[in-house]
Structure 1
Amino acid sequence: MPKSYAIGHLQNVQVGADIIEYLNRIDDTMEPFGGRFLVHGMPHQVVEGEWPGDVIIIEFPDRASVEAWYRSDAYQAILPLRTDNADGRVIFIDGNDEDHRGPDVFEDLAV
């Protein structure tokens, strides 16, 4: 089963007490669901187009885990600390199997 990911694209983050509290508490909310940061706070280089803001990628063992984490009481308790202090978009997406190749996407398309 492929892993699943929560991917956030944040802009206009107002770093202050609320964001600091959010960052201090988020790891504890992910731990029961097997979540871990793959990309968080790293500098990026834009090579095509524009990319304002930051990317966060959190890996989970499967889709059920990422959805359960996001809906958990622990995460919902800190979520306003971020949403009230940053503009963002968040998606959940499953990863590919290890043997995935580029043309494999044709299997899901009516080509």
Structure 2
Amino acid sequence: MRNVWMTLTSFALVSVAVAAEGKELPANDRYVCSWGAGTAARAQELKLSGVSLYAARQKLQTYKFTKGWMRMMAMGITEQTYDSPSRAKPATVRQSFYDDCVRFKLARK
């Protein structure tokens, strides 16, 4: 009987681990993370090239955004990027932002 319980318990643990690992992001969440990562990378490029936060905000005002929430989100991402003391390359910022966003979205589910 003890062996049966141990076997059932191990199968249950394996199935929970597989279910937790198998989560996949919906396309909309992947798009949001990818768009945000690109925005953060562009903001880091501007920051490293010496463009002021004010000028970066003005540049954002000229962009055409496809969704209503994008402008304010881009402003927030840009401000956070400028507030950070990081001097990392834009590609590193892009990857870091994307990885953190995906991790956050998966943890929320």
TM-score (norm 2): 0.32
Q: Which has the higher contact order (CA 8 A, sep 6+)?
A: 1
More strand by share: 1
More helix by share: 2
